[in-house]
Amino acid sequence: MNADYSNIILPRILFLCDKRGITINKLAEMSGVRQSTIHNLVCGASKNPKIGTLHKIATAFSMTLAEFLDFPELNNFSLDDELEE
């Protein structure tokens, strides 16, 4: 069974929020991303966040986009597999 892209990014966001002791609402404030956009990510309404959104979220975590996206679950994920379904 193949996980979709948003199901890999979301746990990363939630983990980093938890690790840093910030709420999703605080993340929206810190990143400059609208609360509705973050909410849509969290509730699964948004399946494919834009790279600009991810960049803003990464910056809020004091990370580069590359650092934010460098974790095993994403590194082992194949977008080609998802596109074939």
Q: Which of 57, 37, 60, 55 is nearest to 47 (CA)?
A: 37
pLDDT tens per residue across span 29-45? 999 999 999 999 888 88
Q: Is the pLDDT of residue 2 over 50?
A: no
- The domain at 5-75 falls in which architecture? Orthogonal Bundle (1.10)
- The confidence band for 79, taking pLDDT boundaries of 50, 70 and 90, is low
What predicted TM-score, i.e. pTM, was given to this entire model? 0.82
Residue-range domain boundaries for the chain: 5-75
60-77 as b/e: b if 16+ CB within 10 A: bbeeeeeebbeeeeeeeb
End-to-end CA distance of the chain: 11
Q: In whole angstroms, what is the distance from residue 7 CA to residue 47 CA?
A: 8
Q: How far is CA 19 from the centre of its chain?
A: 15
